[in-house]
Structure 1
Amino acid sequence: MRERGRTRRLLGLGARTGGALIRTRLGGQADWRALGEALFEGLSELKGPAMKLAQIMSQWDDLLPPDLAEELARLQRQAEPMPWPRIRESLVAQYGDLDAVFREVEERPFASASMGQVHRAVTRDGEILVLKVQYPGLAEVLESDLAQVRRLMRLGRWFKVPQARLDALFEELAASLRGELDYRAEAEALARYRARYAHLENLVIPEPLPALCGERVLAMRYAPGTPLRELESGDDALRQGVAVTLADWLTEELFTHGELHADPHAGNFAVDAQGRLVIYDLGAVIPVPEPRLRAMMQLLEATLAGDPMAMDEALLRLGGRQGHGAPLALYRESAEAVSPLFAPGEQDFGDVRVHRRLRDLTPKVWAAMDRLQPPAETLLLSRTLNGHYWNLVRLGARLDMQARTRPLLEWARR
């Protein structure tokens, strides 16, 4: 009965979202603020895959209407926690007698997300740690929720996205969400990343405690920090240092290790008292095959050269642009919008003129989607890079992107 009620609510939210999209597609007006408020209230309570999808969408700051993006962004930091008695059930299932393991477990979480929430705890030995607890019953409702998400994604056909592309995108999303349910896998990713990036002195990755970890509970040493969003108006030198660390880490992730942290919303990042970047969540790490990375860099090189024909060839090599007639004018406009970020010298990611041009491109990209058709296997990668880009924007980063990308472009040519 509870599952049927959940399905009805998801269908209702999906119908409301679909109605707004269709109205705008037909030239009408939608109340994006009201829709965003309804989605926040409903998904904050329901949690699970649909909330995760909304969090993903909120990271596309240049894609959604501003009022809708602002409301969905609240899901990253203001989602209602699950009541303590339900969470306690999961902890007892993992540890048995909690008093035998912990001196204290804080009942109110200090972070709530789509798939679980985080509670501070103190062991009997006095060590402070955090427990990431998966919402009870989430594994049981996952497939049902995913079925409703698949229905919602069918709205992509209104934007001329072929069903095969929508199916491929859904399978990528579904695989990612199923993977996030296994907290043992996340514990392994934390250990791998801690060893791999130990040489980056300004990067902190919490230490997992395998003896206290299980499939539905992840135990880590407490690594306190100020959330990234709270730094937006903070000390400039601190923000620039964090931005450099973030950019260095992402570059090494991609080009040395062929992996990428795929959940870049700002709530997963913080800065500790020493000014080091803290990464909290490694539940979603995706592989980035070298051929795909080379092809994306070749697309970037063609973009920076302002060569629309080369851009089209690069997109075809990636497996996109399946329709007829290359949108050369759109390629030129895209190149003009992106190139300023890669001009010689330091570029200011806080320059609103760049964001405005990118935002203005969005409806034109959607209008040309039947010809562009980006390959489904690159959509998650593109979304993730976009999310990390906006984290640099929030930091007001000033980076010499030309100097950073020059050796990478040379690598892609080899």
Structure 2
Amino acid sequence: MKNIQFPWHIYWYVGHDGDVSEIVSRRSSRNAKLAKIPLGIAGRAAVGFGRKLAGGDKKEINAELNQRAAEQLFAVLGELKGGAMKFGQALSVMEAAVPEEFGEHYREALTKLQAAAPPMPAAAVHRQLDQQLGTGWRQRFKHFDDEPTASASIGQVHKAEWSDGRIVAVKVQYPGADEALRADLKTLNRMAGMLGTLIPGADVKPVLAEISERTEEELDYRIEGGHQRQFAKAFDGHARFLVPKVVASAPKVIVTEWLDNATPISKIINQGNADPAGTVELRNRVAGLMGEFHFSSPAIAGLLHADPHPGNFMMLEDGRLAVIDYGACAPLPKGFPPILGEMVALAVEERFDELTELMHTNGWVIPGKQVSHQEIQDYLRPFTDPIKTETFHFTRRWMQRVAGKATDISSAEMKTARALQLPAEHVMIFRVLGGSIGICAQLDAELPFMKLVQDWVPGYLENRRAS
């Protein structure tokens, strides 16, 4: 895995509501569809420019262009599923950082496919089950619902009753998803520069690089099943978390226990938008549980759940947080690397000379580049708000401010960023950190961020000089 350069910018994603019969698997066909995005948006921009010259209202024209651009992004990438939609899901959690001037149109596009996507027909599902579970697969179920209950980037979920009476979720990978995913990632990587211009300041390259590295692992549901079994065993009987047990797994089909009366976090985010005052306690609880799950998992399970978006987290009626989808996991058998705790401790106490030396000697500075401790201090300033107090209130406004500072290409901080890199062994950790913070901002929630660091990140307390 290659090192990825700083910073982590505004992430975005799109999807599609309509029905499609099959994944478009031919690379030329998929490339043609992806090409619709820049061409269509460029055409609308030209029309908008003409209307401005003709005296049209600038705000109304910009709003209309934003809405239509969002609709096209949503339609094209959602229809393609595969890597195009996988890309979208990985970026969706940073919706809170989208500048307000892009309005609700992008916000709606950025949240639609966290739990829904175009279904594949029952005949294709049955063929996949024949190949993965054997032609006698129906005998393993008392009932199988052909209508999917949810779908995602490379597979969709069906509700069924297992032979022993358990209600189960059956995730079936789309036929051709593997070829489509690989083709999309190659195309999207080539289009990274153009895609970044669709929203000012966006830098999609780090996310695309990471998804490309994890592609093969996530395509094999047996690997996902192994991760989920490890998590389920480690958290079995936990008072605050539920990991559904795996019933059966094959390369392209995984069967797990069904979750009843589970409220998706995306719904709680919407409830918070509609009733901020009345949902404060619930939103804070959700954020606190998500934070605890991510921070504690390496120590408890030896793994880090590395696919943070609202569709993978649900609140149960008994107050526990249920977590699904273990295709992307980072192995951390010894817990978080102590260097992370040491870096946070040095930043908290503003010992930037020591922090800079630590970054130079541990691969956080690109070989041959030099940065001073003042440059590191100035660069980190926008990101350090959560570590200055025991609790922190994550908001969209804060996310937008941080993202704006991080993507100002004319700033001195951006010059510093070009000298920094994220060591490969920390890529998944920072993906989870960034994703979790993005969800907390969508929840508009306050949580004991530093208490989680103290409890679960080794190297932090050991390197604090102050009590």
CA deviation map 1:70-106 (0-9, x unaligned): 5233232342222333223212333424543334322
CA distance in 2, matches of 1:337, 1:399: 19
Q: Give yes or no for contact 1:62–1:358 (8 Å, CA) kept in 2.
A: no
2:72 alignment partner AA: A
Pairing partner for 2:339 from 295, 298, 311: 295
Greater RCO, 1 or 2 (C-alpha within 8 Å, sep 6+): 2
**Which of residues 10, 14, 39 in structure 1 aligns to 2:73?**
39
- Judge conservation of contact 2:225–2:246 (CA < 8 Å) in 1: yes
Residue in 2 that maps onto 1:268: 312
In structure 2, do the counterparts of structure 1 residues 77 and 348 end up closer, same or farther at CA, with 3 Å as the change threshold?
same
Question: Which residue matches 2:85?
Answer: 51
Match of 1:179 among 213, 217, 225: 217
Q: Bigger shift: 181-190 or 261-270?
A: 181-190
Deviation at 1:188, TM superposition (A): 1.4
Structure 2 partner of 1:354 = 398
Instruction: Trace 1:275-354 onto structure 2 (pairs within 5 A).
Output: 275-288=319-332, 293-322=337-366, 324=369, 326=371, 331-333=376-378, 335-350=380-395, 352=396, 354=398
Following the alignment from structure 2 to structure 1, what is the Cα–Cα distance between the partners of residues 150 and 136? 24
**RMSD across aligned positions (CA):** 3.6
In structure 1, the partner of 2:14 is: none
- SS at structure 2 position matched to 1:176: helix
1:148 paired residue number: 187
The 3 A distance-change label for structure 1 pair 62 and 377 is farther
**Is the counterpart of residue 215 in structure 1 residue 215 in structure 2?**
no
2:438 counterpart of 1:399: no
In structure 2, relative to structure 1, the CA distance for the partners of 1:32 and 1:275 (3 Å cut) is same
Aligned CA distance change for structure 1 residues 380 and 124 (closer, same or farther; 3 Å)? closer
Once residues 378 and 446 of structure 2 are traced to their aligned partners in structure 1, the CA distance between those partners, rounded to angstroms, is 24
8 Å CA contact 2:91–2:207 kept in 1: the answer is no
Is 1:203 the counterpart of 2:241 in the alignment?
A: yes
Higher-helix-fraction structure: 1
Q: Tell me if the contact between 1:14 and 1:152 (Cα under 8 Å) persists in the aligned partners.
A: no
Contact kept, 8 Å, 1:337 with 1:354, in 2: the verdict is: no
Distance 1:332 1:75 in 2: 38
CA–CA distance in structure 2, aligned partners of residues 17 and 173 of structure 1: 26
Gapped runs of 5+ residues in structure 2? 1-23, 45-61, 198-204, 273-277
Q: Offset of 1:19 from its aligned partner?
A: 11
The runs of 5 or more residues in structure 1 that have no matched partner are 21-28, 159-165
One-letter code aligned to 2:382: A
What secondary structure, in the 3-state scheme, does the structure 2 residue paired with 1:133 have?
A: strand
Counterpart in 2 of 1:115?
A: 154
With normalisation by structure 1, the TM-score equals 0.81
TM-score (norm 2): 0.73
2:267 equivalent in structure 1: 230
Q: Which amino acid aligns with 1:209?
A: V
Contact 2:99 2:400 in 1 (8 A): no
Amino acid at match of 2:220: D
Task: Specify the SS of the correspondent of 2:244.
Answer: coil
State the Cα deviation string for residues 169-189 of structure 1 (Å, max 9, x = none): 766422312111111111111
Change in Cα spacing, 1:115 to 1:245, as seen in structure 2 (3 Å) is same
Residue 5 of structure 1 pairs with residue 29 of structure 2 = yes
In the alignment, which residue of structure 2 is the partner of 1:378?
426
CA contact (8 A) 2:299 2:333 kept: no
Tell me the distance in 2 between the aligned counterparts of 1:395 and 1:194: 26
Tell me whether 398-407 or 274-283 shows the greater mean CA deviation: 398-407
Whether contact under 8 Å (1:208, 1:221) holds in the other structure is: yes
1:110 is displaced (CA, Å) by 1.6
Q: From 405, 410, 414, give the equivalent of 2:461.
A: 410
